[in-house]
């Protein structure tokens, strides 16, 4: 007789668990972790001070509505705080959106090299992930619209996209929205929006403000440097915000995170320093790595996607081993269907120069 035991809902065991970028290089004295898109400048000193100020109040529950943080975000972007929801990272909000708007048998669309969380939250909600092919490592509006069926309920669009660093213009995002049925939710994941310098880009605020079926998710993990605190936010139509507030945890954002988030978003100078550093070294890395004969996908985020040949001794796997031996940790992208590439976060000047030098040595050695 077969032993009875609890069984997870259909779809859960089909999930390939998310694997973060590695952070260690055994036997190496100094390690430069460039695998998780963390800011090399760290958080605002004001955010650190605000976080520490909570140390004497750890017995207190946080404000369950994160009102101070929502109001600070509202001031920063000119938004109604009542249309903002905060979460334990933007991942938390993506999970909540999936559970609120997907049922068994529904479909949710993401692109070929989209963020790995999208199929995870889709399967976790009992729905089917549908992959829309990309063009030149960039989301293709026509392919996404062609994938829409009567079962489609969500379209996830990372803009800019991780791990490719590419993005769609605002006109293309609006064209995508116009082509979607009104009952399909367009989720604009704008985690890297703070780094974009293109004039034709818009993170999604305008589209959310004028639509009933669009939300925009943002994070404090990137330019604000608060990844350890797990802090994100969503701007959406009032009915969607109401639905998410009904199912989210009553204290899903910690008190120290709220305090640090308020301080971080108000420190405009620190954000600008981080943006300037990123722009300078993103351009430098793209140019210098390109000079070595390696293809780099043009990026608007805080990382670059480096492509390697399939030649034995010159592959992405070989390069990763060579770099790791020098304490330079990049992100393998096989799980993103990019087995012949590595993603590199823009790091400190020292780290950036060391990677380029190491890649030069790697390509110069006998294959």
Q: For the residues of 20-87, what is the DSSP string, one character each? A: PPP---TT-SS-EE-SS---TT-S-HHHHHHHHGGGGGTTSPP-TT-HHHHHHHHHHHT--GGGEEEE
Answer yes or no: do 239 and 281 share one domain. no
> Is pLDDT of 29 > 90?
no
Q: Identify whether residues 221 and 140 lie together within a single domain.
A: yes
Task: Decide if 2 is inside a domain.
Answer: no
Number of domains in the chain: 2
If you search the block for the tokens 């920063």, which residue do you land on? 76
Q: Is residue 301 part of a domain?
A: yes
Does any domain span residue 4? no
**Domain contains 247:** yes
Residue 5 lies in a domain: no
Regarding whether 58 and 37 lie in a shared domain, the answer is no
In a domain, 6, yes or no: no
Q: Of 211, 245, 266, which closes a domain? A: 266
Per-residue model confidence as pLDDT tens digits over 136-188: 999 999 999 999 999 999 999 999 999 999 999 999 999 999 999 999 999 99
Asked whether residue 126 falls in the same domain as residue 246, the answer is: yes
| CA separation for the pair 114, 167 (Å, rounded) | 11
pLDDT of residue 18: 72
Residue 209 lies in a domain: yes
* Residues 218-240: tens digit of each pLDDT: 999 999 999 999 999 999 999 99
Does residue 229 belong to any structural domain of this protein? yes
What are the pLDDT digits (tens) for 266-282?
Answer: 999 999 999 999 999 99
Note whether 165 and 278 are same-domain residues: no
The chain-wide mean pLDDT, for the chain, equals: 95
DSSP 175-234: HHHHHS-TTSEEEEE-TTGGG---TT---SHHHHHT-SSEEEEEESSSTT--GGG--EEE
Query: With pLDDT > 90 as the criterion, what percentage of the chain qualifies?
Result: 90
Q: Are residues 262 and 305 in the same domain?
A: no
Say if residue 99 is in the same domain as residue 246. yes
CATH number of domain containing 118 = 3.40.640.10
- Residue 2, pLDDT above cutoff 60: no
| 158 Cβ contact partners less than 8 Å away, ≥ 6 residues apart | 111, 114, 115, 118, 139, 189, 191
Q: Is residue 3 pLDDT above 70, yes or no?
A: no
pLDDT for position 351:
98
Residue 329: CATH number of its domain = 3.90.1150.10
Q: pTM score, two decimals?
A: 0.94
Residue 278, class by beta-carbon neighbours within 10 Å (0-12 exposed, 13-18 middle, 19+ buried)?
A: buried
For residue 318, give its domain range. 12-42+269-364
Q: Is 287 found in the same domain as 318?
A: yes
328 and 216 housed in the same domain: no
**Is the predicted pLDDT of residue 23 greater than 70, yes or no?**
no
């Amino acid at each position: 007789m077969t032993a009875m035991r609890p069984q997870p809902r259909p779809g859960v065991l089909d999930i390939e668990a998310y694997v973060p970028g590695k952070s260690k290089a055994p036997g190496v004295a100094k390690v430069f972790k460039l695998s998780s898109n963390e800011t090399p400048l760290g958080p605002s000193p004001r955010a650190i001070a605000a976080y520490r100020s909570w140390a004497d109040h750890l017995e207190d529950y946080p404000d369950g509505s994160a009102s101070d943080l929502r109001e600070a975000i509202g001031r920063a972007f000119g938004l109604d705080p009542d249309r903002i929801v905060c979460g334990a990272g933007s991942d938390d909000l993506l999970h909540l959106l999936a559970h609120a708007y997907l049922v068994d048998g529904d479909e949710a669309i993401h692109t070929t090299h989209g963020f790995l969380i999208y199929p995870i939250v889709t399967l976790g909600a009992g729905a089917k992930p549908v992959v829309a092919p990309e063009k030149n490592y960039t989301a293709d509006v026509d392919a996404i619209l062609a994938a829409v069926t009567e079962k489609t309920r969500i379209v996830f669009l990372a803009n800019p996209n991780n791990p490719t660093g590419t993005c769609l213009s605002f006109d293309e995002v609006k064209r995508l929205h116009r082509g979607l049925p009104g009952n399909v939710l367009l989720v604009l994941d704008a985690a890297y929006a703070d780094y974009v310098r293109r004039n034709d880009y818009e993170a999604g605020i305008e589209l959310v403000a004028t639509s009933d079926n669009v939300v925009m998710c943002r994070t404090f993990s990137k330019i604000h440097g608060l990844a350890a605190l797990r802090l994100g936010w969503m701007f959406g139509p009032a009915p969607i915000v109401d639905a998410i507030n009904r199912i989210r945890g009553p204290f899903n954002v910690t008190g120290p995170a709220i305090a640090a988030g308020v301080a971080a978003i108000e420190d405009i100078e620190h954000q600008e320093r981080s943006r300037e550093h990123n722009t300078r070294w993103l351009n430098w890395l793209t140019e210098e790595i390109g000079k070595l004969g390696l293809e780099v996908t043009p990026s608007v985020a805080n990382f670059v996607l480096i492509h390697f040949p399939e030649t034995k001794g010159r592959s992405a796997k070989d390069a990763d081993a060579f770099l790791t031996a020098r304490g330079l940790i990049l992100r393998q992208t096989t799980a993103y269907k990019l087995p012949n590439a590595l993603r590199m976060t823009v790091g400190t000047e020292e780290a950036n120069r060391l990677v380029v030098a190491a890649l030069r040595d790697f390509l110069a050695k006998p294959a």
